[in-house]
Amino acid sequence: MKNKIIISLILSLIIVFTGTSDFASASGFEPPINSELRNYWDITHSSATNVNAIFDDHFNYLGGWANNVYYNGNLYNPCLSSDKRIRFALKIYDSSGTHIVGVSATVKVSCVDEDFYFLSEGPSGSYKTPAEYLNQILEYNIDSSYSNFYAYGYFNYGLFGNITARYLLYFDSSRNRHLLNDDYSEYSTAVNGTCGSANGGSFPQTPSTNLCATGTLFTGAGIYGVIDNGTSYLWTCMGSGENSTSENCSASVSVASAQCGYIANTEYTGIEPTGYNACINGSVKDMQQELDDTWSWTCEVSEYDFVSCSSYSDNPFFLLPSLPTSGDISCSDILDPQGFGECIASVLSWLFLPHTESMENFFALKSLLVNKIPFGYVKAWQNQISSLAYAPEKNLTFNMTYNDQEIPIVDTNSLSELAGVDLTALYFGFIRACLWIMFGVWVFNLGRSIFAHKQLTLDFK
């Protein structure tokens, strides 16, 4: 009996230690040997570059493709080809390494120097980024409770050719994401956020460059992510990836030494201001004459030490929209996006904007009516009053003669000097307003006499 117990204990220990040894030697993310996914990774696509170092765990591109991806022993840069597109596939495998669902598509890149970024044309567009394809599959094809599965993506050489790059992501039982190395161990792309050289500086204007050395600028507050509290500029450099850290940064607010010239904030529409007329301190930048003949420019001492300057005019220029030349609706080739847009614009223009021919007819009719009764009388009175009201050399004076001496009773010049206003213009403006009121009352009474309580009778005999 004792021998059986001892033998059983020995066998149990052997099983326990054997199982422990096997568990320790295997990766928790390793797909089963000879599974479909394992064969793709280890055999079919073994020569492709693992791009988990330049993509994060949401398949967002981090940069650096041109210095990492090889094809036939040479670095492969899609920007060097005439067609800036890459064939791409994304497949989902279950824990047994069996294919569940996938998508094959063409991804498009836009090149910047030696690197690029993936283009997107929206949910219904022709192109999506790898991250958008991954989100699409997870949203529409994988139940939110499903876990322990792989997302495997790979890229071709251009639109054709062998596989150049591969990407492997594992979702554990809690749906945590793990980027996998070639040996199926976890690869971390955590990037800590750190402040840039602007941290600790002093700026008269909100800084916009050198804010973060690493990480990304948090843009949820302030002007493009920088908060100005009056004494300091505050911003945060966000980290990315699991267990990453972020850093808060700040700089002080200083007084700008740049100063506008004598013409700034004055009524001026003359020749281009120069010298101290433009800037008392700083260099003149971006001098521009506006539509109302005023000037706007910038006085700049440094990148962050500048001030905007401008003159003004008492006769502003109003830019009116141009009218269509024809009242016809023009719609052709509406199946083409540009043609369809032009058709919509033509319809809206026909509905809301009169064309030039209609406006010319309207003004021609106005010129005919302006001299007819009763408009002619009003126009004549208005012209006479305007000539008096806006002619400062015509002074309104009433005098009384007493003992052969002229005694002034009313003198608008002296009154305007006392009151500080042009009483001549004020007086005739009042007279003009009264005339228009009288004309309005006359039109109202005329209409009432014609239409109010009038009956037309027909006498048939």
For 31-68, how does the pLDDT look when each residue is reduced to its tens digit (9 = 90+)?
999 999 999 999 999 999 999 988 988 898 888 888 88
Residue 415 in any domain: the answer is: yes
**Cβ burial 341-364 (10 Å sphere, 16+ → b, else e):** ebbeebeebbeeeeeeeeeeeeee
* Alpha carbon distance 265, 47 (integer Å): 68
**Do 74 and 200 belong together in one domain?**
no
Q: 279 and 298 in contact (C-beta within 8 Å)?
A: no
pLDDT of residue 373: 58
Nearest to 235 by CA among 213, 267, 254, 259: 213
What lies within 8 Å, CB to CB, of 105 at 6+ separation is 87, 88, 89, 128, 133
Q: Is residue 18 part of a domain?
A: no
Within-domain flag for 173 = yes
**Are 249 and 265 in a shared domain?**
no
Regarding whether 276 and 155 lie in a shared domain, the answer is no
Say if strands 49-50 and 163-171 run parallel, antiparallel, or are unpaired: parallel
Identify whether residues 278 and 241 lie together within a single domain.
no
Residue with the bigger pLDDT between 116 and 26: it is 116
Instruction: Give the mean model confidence (pLDDT) for residues 377-388.
Output: 60
Q: Does residue 267 lie in a domain region? A: yes
The count of domains in the chain is 5
Check pLDDT > 60 for residue 387. Answer: no
Same domain, 94 and 108: yes
Task: Decide: 179 and 156 in contact? Cβ < 8 Å.
Answer: no
Assess whether 54 and 111 both reside in one domain: yes
- Can you give the pLDDT at residue 193? 86
pLDDT at 400: 58
Between these two residues, 402 and 351, which has the higher pLDDT value? 351
Both 234 and 339 in one domain: the answer is no
- Of 162, 187, 212, the residue at which a domain comes to its end is 187
Residue 211 lies in a domain: yes
Report residue 105 CA to chain centroid gap.
Answer: 29
Residue 65 lies in a domain: yes
Same domain flag for 180 and 266? no
| Nearest Cα to Cα of residue 225 among 207, 213, 240 | 207
Tokens standing for residue 424: 């001549």
Distances (CA, A) of 221 to 191, 231, 241, 428: 22, 17, 22, 56
Tokens of 167: 């990407």
Q: Are residues 142 and 162 in the same domain?
A: yes
**How sure is the predictor about 180, in pLDDT bands with cuts at 50, 70 and 90?**
very high
- 228 & 282 share domain: no
Find the domain containing 348 and state its range: 320-361
Q: Residues 220, 272: one domain?
A: no
Domain-ending residue, one of 204, 226, 253: 253
| Residue 78 preceded by cis peptide, ω within 30 | no
Q: Is the pLDDT of residue 239 over 90?
A: no
Judge whether 25 lies within some domain: no
Mean confidence (pLDDT) of the chain: 76
Q: Is residue 401 part of a domain?
A: yes
Same-domain check for residues 340 and 407: no
pTM: 0.42
